[in-house]
Amino acid sequence: MDIKKDLEELKNRALEQLKDVDDDQGLEKWRVFYLGKKSPLNQVLRGLASLPIEERRLVGAMSNDLKLLFESNVEQKRLSLYSSAVTTLQEKGRLDVTLPGRPVAQGRLHPTTRIVRQICDIFSAMGFQVVEGPEVETDYYNFEALNIPKDHPARDMWDTFWIDRKDENGERTTLLRTHTSPMQIRVMEKTTPPIRVVVPGKVYRYEATDATHESMFYQVEGLAVDKGVTFGDLKGCLYEFARRLFGPERKARFRCDYFPFVEPGVEMAIDCFVCAGKGCRLCSNTGWIEILGAGMVHPDVLRHVNYDPDVYTGFAFGMGVERIPILRYGIEDIRLFYGNDLRFLRQF
Ligand code: DAH
């Protein structure tokens, strides 16, 4: 039984060498040599198949025992190296084990991320799918297909960052999306109704920044298209959303507003959750807080994506995300959101 003797020798040699190991690198070398892929032990195991069955069983068991022995010896050695290093440091007066430990910094979600997720969760529960789209858009999706042709005065509603790219007529073609609405078109182009989607994402405005304006912020867009979708569906859906986000006692108010891609267009407000409608600083004494724009998808927009407006109708909505924590927590300056000041971010 040569192999038995070999294993015995291997064991003695290995443990003898381990005694001489006196630092972590030495230990790692030892471990790789005796427990790594090309270890003598593994070579024995590889030769196992050529042995007669009884011997195979015996040698197999011995090798496994040896492997376990090596492994536990490595751990023991690691601990003893560690504790002797600690003792050395203590003796030199360089380590005080009685000092309290340092707190481990814990990460958390950005306030915008949290609200985006809350909004998307509410709509998911109502059967909406969450999709995302490109931040670099074309004039076509951001404006043209949304019923905002060139030179239309409504373009002034969105101050635009243009990208230096022009078509053959010298017209600018590419921009940073000024709203998430272009995804309405992209989704409709690729889908046949029924459609129910929400689109969270960053949008950009060419604006001087101040306490209430940022050049980048988040929006969530929504779109529902099918046969027979009505303004009542819009109201019911958005009312339910507001109650789930702001509390079941919230009231909602819809008033006419203008957006070129919807008809009729509305703005939706909820009764102020600070003063419950009596009037306070948060709601500028009106009792109402505007939270989103919405409306029935304009027939011309439907035609742009080859939907027959006599067959299909739909509603759309869009809301600014930062506005919600700003209202909820009384944040005074929108620039705090992306200023990366941990003192601000850690409060959420
Ligand atoms: N895109 C608009 C904006 O950025 C918000 C909006 C209003 C989106 C009405 C809509 C809508 O889908 O129907 O100001």
The reported pTM is 0.73
Helix (H, G, I), strand (E, B) or coil at 194: coil
Locate 149 and state its tokens.
Answer: 């042709």
Would you say residue 103 lies in a domain?
no
Would you say residue 96 lies in a domain?
no
Residue 248's pLDDT is: 93
345 alpha carbon, distance to own chain's centre: 16
Handedness of CA 109, 115, 118, 121 (dihedral sign): negative
Would you say residue 98 lies in a domain?
no
Please tell me if the CB atom of residue 315 comes closer than 6 angstroms to any atom of ligand 1.
no
Residue 292's pLDDT is: 97
Q: Are residues 247 and 290 in the same domain?
A: yes
Residue 202's pLDDT is: 98
Most ligand 1 atoms within 8 A of CB, residue of 160, 184, 220, 259 to mutate: 259
- Catalytic residue (choose from 44, 145, 294, 316): 316
Cβ atoms of 155 and 110 within 8 Å: the answer is: no
Q: What is the chain's pLDDT, residue by residue, as a tens digit (348 residues)?
A: 578 888 899 999 999 999 999 999 999 999 999 999 999 888 888 888 888 888 888 888 999 999 999 999 999 999 999 999 888 888 888 888 888 989 998 889 999 999 999 999 999 999 999 999 999 999 999 999 999 999 888 888 889 999 999 999 998 999 999 999 999 999 999 999 999 999 999 999 998 998 888 999 999 999 999 999 999 999 999 999 999 999 999 999 999 999 999 999 999 999 988 888 888 888 889 999 999 999 999 999 999 999 999 999 999 999 999 999 998 888 889 999 999 999 999 998
Would you say residue 234 lies in a domain?
yes
* Domain around 311: 111-345
Query: How many distinct structural domains can be found in the chain?
Result: 2
- For residue 219, which atom of ligand 1 is closest to its CA? 4
- Catalytic residue (choose from 262, 269, 297, 301): 262
Please tell me if the CB atom of residue 293 comes closer than 6 angstroms to any atom of ligand 1.
yes
- The owner of tokens 């023991």 is 76
Q: Are residues 85 and 132 in the same domain?
A: no
Q: How far apart are CA 314 and CA 316, in angstroms?
A: 7
Would you say residue 106 lies in a domain?
no
151 alpha carbon, distance to own chain's centre: 37
Cβ atoms of 204 and 215 within 8 Å: the answer is: yes
Would you say residue 292 lies in a domain?
yes
179 carries an active-site annotation = yes
- For residue 294, which atom of ligand 1 is closest to its CA? 13
Please tell me if the CB atom of residue 295 comes closer than 6 angstroms to any atom of ligand 1.
yes
Q: Are residues 7 and 58 in the same domain?
A: yes
Would you say residue 102 lies in a domain?
no
Please tell me if the CB atom of residue 160 comes closer than 6 angstroms to any atom of ligand 1.
no
- Catalytic residue (choose from 31, 177, 179, 304): 179
**Cα-to-centroid distance, 182 and ligand 1 (Å):** 10
Q: Are residues 38 and 170 in the same domain?
A: no
> Long-range CB contacts (< 8 A, 24+ apart) of 328-335?
328/273, 330/282, 332/211, 333/211, 334/211, 334/212, 334/213, 334/214, 334/217, 335/209, 335/210, 335/211, 335/214
Cβ atoms of 118 and 130 within 8 Å: the answer is: no
18 alpha carbon, distance to own chain's centre: 48
Please tell me if the CB atom of residue 143 comes closer than 6 angstroms to any atom of ligand 1.
no
Please tell me if the CB atom of residue 217 comes closer than 6 angstroms to any atom of ligand 1.
no
Domain boundary residue among 91, 121, 155? Answer: 91
Q: How far apart are CA 344 and CA 152, in angstroms?
A: 41
Quote helix, strand, coil % in the chain, to nearest 5: 45, 20, 35
Query: Which residue has its alpha carbon closest to ligand 1 atom 6?
Result: 318
Q: How far apart are CA 325 and CA 337, in angstroms?
A: 10
Would you say residue 313 lies in a domain?
yes
**Cα-to-centroid distance, 183 and ligand 1 (Å):** 11
* Gyration radius of the chain's alpha carbons: 34
Cβ atoms of 324 and 115 within 8 Å: the answer is: yes
Residue 334's pLDDT is: 92
Q: Are residues 115 and 87 in the same domain?
A: no
Residue 1's pLDDT is: 54
Cβ atoms of 130 and 120 within 8 Å: the answer is: yes
- Within 291-341, residue ranges assigned H as helices are 299-304, 323-329
Q: Which of 313, 269, 309 is nearest to 288 (CA)?
A: 269
Q: Are residues 79 and 145 in the same domain?
A: no
Q: Are residues 175 and 283 in the same domain?
A: yes
- Catalytic residue (choose from 21, 116, 158, 321): 158
- Catalytic residue (choose from 186, 199, 219, 224): 219
- Residue 45: CB atoms within 10 A of its CB come to 15
Q: Are residues 243 and 278 in the same domain?
A: yes
Please tell me if the CB atom of residue 181 comes closer than 6 angstroms to any atom of ligand 1.
yes
CA angle 212, 215, 220 (to 5 degrees): 85
Please tell me if the CB atom of residue 267 comes closer than 6 angstroms to any atom of ligand 1.
no
- CATH code of 338's domain: 3.30.930.10
Residue 52's pLDDT is: 87
Most ligand 1 atoms within 8 A of CB, residue of 196, 317, 319 to mutate: 317
The DSSP-derived string for 143-164 is TGGGT--TT-GGGGGS---EEE
Q: Are residues 68 and 153 in the same domain?
A: no
Q: How far apart are CA 119 and CA 8, in angstroms?
A: 67
Q: Are residues 299 and 159 in the same domain?
A: yes
**Cα-to-centroid distance, 263 and ligand 1 (Å):** 12
Q: Are residues 217 and 125 in the same domain?
A: yes
Q: Are residues 121 and 82 in the same domain?
A: no
